[in-house]
Amino acid sequence: MKRAIRIFVLSKSEQRVVLIVVLALIAGALMRYERRVHQFPIQVTTTTEPKASPNSTEIENER
């Protein structure tokens, strides 16, 4: 049992590597969150009346 617990004993350099990896993962998650939140800003839309599609005589008159 004591041998299994020894896998959690890390040297100073190993602790630094683990810390850097954890911080990099947290920074990446925060960047993804910020991109997702600010990807599509809310825009105020105005309602307009629907337009009828042009008929064949209007298309010929434009030519």
pTM of the model: 0.53
| Alpha carbons 14 and 8: distance in angstroms, whole number | 10
pLDDT in tens, 8-61: 889 999 999 999 999 999 999 999 999 988 877 666 666 677 777 767 776 666
| Alpha carbons 34 and 39: distance in angstroms, whole number | 8
| Alpha carbons 10 and 56: distance in angstroms, whole number | 80
Domain extents in the chain: 11-41
Are the CB atoms for 32 and 40 separated by under 8 Å? Answer: no
**Residue 21 confidence (pLDDT):** 97
Residue 37 in tokens: 């939140």
Please give the distance of CA 60 from its chain centroid, rounded to a whole number. Answer: 48
63 pLDDT higher than 70: no
